[in-house]
Structure 1
Amino acid sequence: MTFGMIATIIIFILLLLIGIPISLVLIITSISYILLSGDTTLLSSVSQKMFSGIDNFGLLAIPLFMLAGELMNFGGITSRLISFAKVLIGHFRGGLAYVAIIANMFLASILGSANAQAAMMSKVMVPEMEKEGYSRDFSSALTLASSIVAPIIPPSMLFIIYGTLTGASIGDLFMAGIIPGILIGVSFIIVIGFLNRKENFPKSERGTMKEVINNFLSVIPALLIPFIIIYGILSGMFTPTESAAVACIIAIIIGFSYRQLKVSDLPEIFKNTVVNTATITFLIVMANVFGFILAYEQIPQTLANSMLNLSDSPIVFLLLVNILLLLLGAVLDGIAALIILVPVLIPLLATYQIDPVHFGVIITINLTIGLLTPPVGTGLFIVSSVAEISIERLVRALLPFLIVSVLMLFIITYWEDAVLWIPSLIKN
């Protein structure tokens, strides 16, 4: 490794430690490397790499799914999903905790963004659970933990980015995330069952059959959205990118039919979509430049040779990758880590005979867990701010869910059929 690269790594770490936004850290370290190495001819490639980082049709799905999520939120879909889940199972002891998980799984099939889901559900579920007698610590931790299914159950922003980086089928990635997302949701339900014995959680009144039917009828349009998206992709009616546009159209129709989406809401909806899209796009652009520097220094090849020297077993390789990703996920934003690491790790998959779709699910779950872990877990800061709870209290309450999340990660890592079963059914 050259002096320029060593100095660049030191600059990278220092900038992270002082709290510079990760997108700026990436471009500053990239330019620093070029200047320190003395090879200023690389500067002429920076603009090309910035453009090529977003010159991909698949990335168009990101702003469209973000717009769909905003439309659904303003259109009252979120509150209806929660009401339906509550009237179904809220009367069980700890029922509202189960409602939080099930509602998050419903929303995951619509939003695809853990941060957006964590922010939205914190505003709704934490006050509601506190009113029912749950502690703020537990309510906040449960809401944050449940939000990690959003990038796993389709549609998923991370799957879209991974697919555009690797060429893996985004449709296959969407299908591959269904079972892992359900497994993680079920594992959280089991955690609540154990905690329920100790804490003796409260329960709500049983809803009448009329309330169940009315809530079900009101939520049917919202529940149709993920099925239309998945069916359209599987049948070949539209691509994942086109499915995002279809989701926007359906969300507008449903929002106006519920009489909660107003024309006056559209400017704020578009503004939120533009800001969030610009943030992610800027990060993708900067990470692509940083990836170019890593490739120029032959870091991927060096890492590949080191891995092969350690072991030629795919079991050991996946174990090392999981450890690496869990550590990096704690200090790097998920999208940035994905863009930086995927070009480094993908060349090794053929050597170890690992399916790219299976690996995409592994890396997505891994980096999503990073949303829950300090020091830079963005989910922690979002829920801490919205629910008005300290990071320390939130982390303590999160520990059972974190432990189970890591356990499920390793189960999914080594149980390939759980990930690839649905995509294989479709191909057959």
Structure 2
Amino acid sequence: MTFFVFALLLLLQVPIGICLCLTAVFYIWYSGNTVLFESYAQQLFGSVESYGLLAIPLFILAGELMNEGGLTRRLINFARVFFGGFRGGLAYINLLANMMMASIMGSANAQIAIMSRAIVPEMEREGYDKTFSTAITAAAGLMGPIIPPSMLFVIYGVLAQISIGDMFIGGIIPGILMGLAFFLIVAGFGFIHTYPKGRWPDAKEAVQSVIQVIPALGVPIIIIGGILSGLATPTESAGLASLAALLAGKFCYGDLKLGVMPDLLKRTALNSALVIFLVASAGVFGWTITFEKIPQMVAEWIGASTSSPFVFMLLVMAQLLIVGMLIEGIAALILVVPILLPIAVDQFGISPVHFGVVVCLNLVLGLLTPPVGTGLFVASAMTGISPMKIAKALIPFLVSVILLLIWFSYDPWPVMVLLE
């Protein structure tokens, strides 16, 4: 009965956080265990009593400061030094700039919005098809939640009670492999379509771009370097990155005006509150499914279906592709981790880091697949191209990610190699 109430609330388009809380309330009332109401608030607030969750507002703040401070534009100019003169160079610049932004933003939707405004109009001016330009930008946004830092990894680490730093390290190689796959796809399209010829920056412009990007590159170096070296936790790295982005935007580039700070901080607070509330509501929902013994029932069903870790991962992958199409990524992660993680670890001996990277990458695909596909609608709103046109142009990129997912499901090496 609890499941049907949850499904009904989803169909009525009740916000997912409220949906989770109301489902837990219904379960307590329906089960007759009304004494549980006394610990409801404790479960709700206890779910967010995690030091690691402080990283979320700090990473969001760092991304906002990067955009307002002109760091994004410097990263794009820096990418021109490497690919500007190639035929189709701006398409490669788009991917490389997105990879660098992914090492700062941690949010696919924010990255898609920023890069759609920054680079799609420029690609259109140089003769690129607008739909193709939008599709590349949207696909590159998939790297945002995989290349560290990643809000999905932070939330998964909290839910799984494992090191967020380990999750970040586990995402480095898969994120790079995604970028390489996208480069190959763009190169393949180059044999079919004639890309506009680019222009190499002259020596003066190249030197200027390299010098100007140094403060901007300091932000991802602080984030990833601090975590890899063990000198800072992910939360501390996020705080230092926000400070570096503020100083670079204000004093190195002079683009960050103090007048925008109230609106910038307001956006950061609202976006952070949304994510934190989802985590809190997940606490009471996870409490509910534990009482309902849903993880045990799922474990029994999967145990009867297969004893192979790879087949289990494929089953999970197929289910999550469907879940990701219907439910936003963070909400979906919150729903599935309490059910599937114990089965993966206890029954199949899969590393929680390996499982987490595969699950997060799986759910990221839902950002660009109808009917929900929030990334599609963000890209559409920024460029004016219909979501279905973008989705059609995205098919080769999505297929490449699915193939990578199958590889990662079979072989944990790309995820675990830097942790060994």
> Same fold by TM-score, threshold 0.5 exceeded?
yes
CA distance in 2 between counterparts of 1:334 and 1:50 reads 21
> Under a length normalisation based on structure 1, what TM-score does the superposition of the two structures give?
0.94
Deviation, 1:408, is 1.3
1:110 partnered with 2:104: yes
Greater Cα offset, 112-121 or 382-391: 382-391
**Which of 275, 282, 294 pairs up with 1:280?**
275
The secondary structure found in structure 2 opposite 1:177 is: helix
**Which of 65, 68, 73 pairs up with 2:62?**
68
1:413 partnered with 2:406: no
In the other structure, the counterpart of 1:392 is 388
**Which of 327, 347, 362 pairs up with 2:342?**
347
Deviation, 1:287, is 2.0
Deviation, 1:31, is 2.5
1:211 partnered with 2:205: yes
Alignment of 1:177-196 (within 5 A): 177-196=171-190
CA distance in 2 between counterparts of 1:131 and 1:87 reads 19
Residue by residue over 1:168-189, the C-alpha shift from the partner in whole angstroms, topping out at 9 and shown as x without a partner, is 2211111111110010011011
Deviation, 1:149, is 0.5
**Which of 290, 297, 303 pairs up with 1:295?**
290
Alignment of 1:117-266 (within 5 A): 117-256=111-250, 257-266=252-261
CA distance in 2 between counterparts of 1:93 and 1:23 reads 47
Moved over 6 A (4+): none
Deviation, 1:201, is 1.6
CA distance in 2 between counterparts of 1:78 and 1:414 reads 36
**Percent of pairs with identical residues:** 49
CA distance in 2 between counterparts of 1:234 and 1:98 reads 28
CA contact (8 A) 1:329 1:337 kept: yes
Paired AA for residue 213 in structure 2: V
CA distance in 2 between counterparts of 1:281 and 1:20 reads 17
Paired AA for residue 343 in structure 1: P
Deviation, 1:341, is 1.2
CA distance in 2 between counterparts of 1:19 and 1:139 reads 32
CA distance in 2 between counterparts of 1:286 and 1:416 reads 31
1:327 partnered with 2:322: yes
CA distance in 2 between counterparts of 1:147 and 1:187 reads 14
In the other structure, the counterpart of 1:35 is 29
Give unpaired runs (5+ residues) of structure 1.
none
1:101 partnered with 2:95: yes
CA contact (8 A) 2:112 2:379 kept: yes
CA distance in 2 between counterparts of 1:140 and 1:190 reads 17
Give unpaired runs (5+ residues) of structure 2.
none
CA contact (8 A) 1:88 1:207 kept: no
CA distance in 1 between counterparts of 2:171 and 2:267 reads 27
CA contact (8 A) 2:279 2:334 kept: yes
Deviation, 1:133, is 1.3
CA distance in 2 between counterparts of 1:16 and 1:203 reads 49
CA distance in 2 between counterparts of 1:321 and 1:400 reads 22
Deviation, 1:39, is 3.5
Residue by residue over 1:293-318, the C-alpha shift from the partner in whole angstroms, topping out at 9 and shown as x without a partner, is 11110001111111111111111111
CA contact (8 A) 1:88 1:212 kept: no
CA contact (8 A) 2:309 2:350 kept: yes
In the other structure, the counterpart of 2:310 is 315
Q: CA, structure 1 residues 36+247, in 2 after alignment: closer, same or farther (shift >3 Å)?
A: same
**Which of 56, 60, 75 pairs up with 1:81?**
75
Alignment of 1:13-28 (within 5 A): 13-28=7-22
Deviation, 1:88, is 2.3
Deviation, 1:370, is 1.0
CA distance in 2 between counterparts of 1:84 and 1:344 reads 44
- How many residues in Structure 1 have an aligned counterpart in Structure 2? 418
CA distance in 2 between counterparts of 1:304 and 1:50 reads 26
Paired AA for residue 148 in structure 1: L
1:372 partnered with 2:368: yes
Deviation, 1:281, is 1.1
RMSD over aligned CA atoms reads 1.5
CA contact (8 A) 1:94 1:196 kept: yes
